[in-house]
Amino acid sequence: MKLLLVEDEERVASFLVKGLSSRSYSVEWVGTGHQALQRVTDADVALVILDLGLPDLDGLEVLQSLRERGATIPVLVLSARGRLEDRIKGLNLGADDYLAKPFAFAELLARVRANLRPHNAIPAGMLRAGSIRVDVLRREVMVDGRTLSLSAREFSLLKAFVAHPRQVLSRQELLSLAWDMNSDPGTNLVDVYVRYLRRKLGGELIETVRGTGYRLRIDLRALPGCSPAVRRRGSWHI
């Protein structure tokens, strides 16, 4: 399984290649956006780790170009641009995950593993996180095999959570991802609909991260590709 690392800083790239290779990943490093666009079409690339500050193209241009071409390969943005508006823009352009520099290598490794979960077992138009399945085309939701009846806003909010499992999302990010809103037209719109979802999903699945926002908690044992050791031990990754 090959990872494509798009990073122009040789020191950072060397550190990441060495660390990921020691975890048995095959890593190819390129230093420009044009090289990335040429290589990412190869079938052997399973995940792109994309820096935004590239010497020829902005990383967001690379990301947008990939999505406009119909590429569905997971993209993990790794950037010094860690402001809220930068993260929202990256996610809206099609990033699957966003990690701001500086970062802990252990967290990067965890995000790589999460974004490499098998996609071929999930039909087109279907999102899955643990026991939750969201059929985007039919606008249907199933949890533990039971169908949930959700309003349009509840569905959009849950879809945002399921598309970014285990990731802390601020209220502003949720407004943008779920409803394409730049500001809250009500005093507590996100909080109200999170409360509605909790009633239908069960209160343990959506966690409040004090002072930051919310995150979808996923039982590692329910994730595709989970190791036998984790299944035996049992764990919540939050």
103: tokens are 């970062």
The whole-number average pLDDT for the span 125-138 is 83
Question: pLDDT per residue over 151-199, tens digit each?
Answer: 999 999 999 999 887 788 899 889 988 888 877 766 789 999 999 999 9
> Does the predicted model carry a pTM greater than 0.75?
no
| Residues 96-118: b if buried by 16+ CB within 10 A, e if exposed | bbbbeeeeeeeebeebbbbbbbe
224: tokens are 């595709």
d(C-alpha 8, C-alpha 213), whole Å: 32
Q: In which band, very low, low, confident or very high, does the pLDDT at 49 lie, cut at 50, 70 and 90?
A: very high
Q: What is the DSSP string of 69-119?
A: TT----EEEEES--SHHHHHHHHHTT-SEEEESS--HHHHHHHHHHHTS--
| pLDDT value at 112 more than 50 | yes
Lowest mean pLDDT across 25-29, 104-108, 223-227: 223-227
Helix, strand, coil distribution of the chain in percent, nearest 5: 40, 25, 40
Q: What domains appear along the chain, each with residue ranges and CATH number? A: 2-115 (3.40.50.2300), 126-237 (1.10.10.10)
- C-beta separation of 6 from 54 below 8 A: yes
Q: In which band, very low, low, confident or very high, does the pLDDT at 226 lie, cut at 50, 70 and 90?
A: very low
Q: How far is CA 47 from CA 76, 86, 232, in A?
A: 8, 21, 28
pLDDT at residue 43, as a whole number = 56
Under DSSP, is residue 209 helix (H, G, I), strand (E, B) or coil? strand
| pLDDT value at 225 more than 80 | no
Nearest to 206 by CA among 152, 162, 148, 175: 162
Q: Considering just the CA atoms, what is the radius of gyration of the chain in Å?
A: 18
d(C-alpha 29, C-alpha 19), whole Å: 13
Q: In which band, very low, low, confident or very high, does the pLDDT at 219 lie, cut at 50, 70 and 90?
A: low
d(C-alpha 88, C-alpha 173), whole Å: 6
| pLDDT value at 238 more than 70 | no
pLDDT, averaged across the chain: 83
- Determine which helix (DSSP H) or strand (DSSP E) holds 100, and give its type and residue range: strand 97-100
pLDDT at residue 235, as a whole number = 37
d(C-alpha 76, C-alpha 232), whole Å: 29
Contacts of 11 (CB under 8 A, 6+ apart): none
